[in-house]
Amino acid sequence: MPETEELRHETKTIPLPAGVDQVDIHLAMGIGKLYVQAGSEALLDAEFTYNVAAWQPQISLEHRDATAYLTVRQPRAHTTVGRRAENTWRIRLAGDVPMDLHVKSGVGNAELNLAKLPLRRLSTKLGVGEATLMLTDNPQLGSVHIDMGVGNLTVDLRGEWQHDVTADIHGGTGTLTLQLPTEIGVKVVASKGIGRLRCNGLHHQGGGVWVNPAYTETGTTLNVTIHAGVGQINLNVGG
């Protein structure tokens, strides 16, 4: 079991390399609390607070052609730690360069407020804990992939999307709540094996398909596929 020490507080700023017109970012935390949002004037502004020396974040940046590849990872985390162990990341990302974002969270809570980021693709793999994922006001977003893990997850997909968006959610164990838009069409396909399903603002087309009133009425559609494994699913349009 790793020993806890005095609390350390570190900050890190990564400027956007010259000549970059897109970024690929990987965030990997094994144990702790993860907060991510927009608002950085650099590629990344981060604050790390931890009291296990072995958890000092490792950061790498590569620049190939016109793409910057940024990785922030916690070294391999022990799953048996004392109750006093603490690890918190507060990360702000740039809001003006097209971005692919990959987030992996192990044990702990995650709050990903990704509104106003120029996301094109998002993939998340969640472990054990509570998580919220806000994806409003991301007009460039095309695809979302979520592995839920164990715990409760809330995903806000409301917004005026400029093109079709595909969200693929692989359920774990717990409660999944989706906040869905009213301005564009929504189609939700839930596979066999899911738990209880509660819908607000959607109607059942038959089989495992639910749609909102704007479906087929607009030129843009949010297509959500939920795979087996989720205990409780809440689908809310608007709100």
CA distance 220 to 38: 25
DSSP string computed for 5-68? -S-EEEEEEEPPPTT--EEEEEEEEEESEEEEEEEESSSEEEEEEES-GGG--EEEEEEETTEE
- pTM assigned to the model: 0.93
- Rounded to the nearest angstrom, the gap between the alpha carbon of residue 3 and the centroid of all alpha carbons in its chain is 30
The burial class, CB within 10 Å (0-12 / 13-18 / 19+), for 166 is: middle
| Cβ 223 vs Cβ 180: under 8 Å | no
pLDDT at 4: 76
pLDDT at 36: 98
pLDDT at 194: 67
Chunked into runs of 10 residues, the chain (239 residues) has average pLDDT values of: 81 94 96 95 96 93 94 77 84 93 95 94 95 91 93 90 91 89 93 79 91 90 86 87
pLDDT at 227: 86
DSSP string computed for 195-234? -EEEEES-EEEETTEEE-TTTTTSS-EEEEEEETT-SEEE
What residue spans define the domains of the chain?
A: 1-141, 152-239
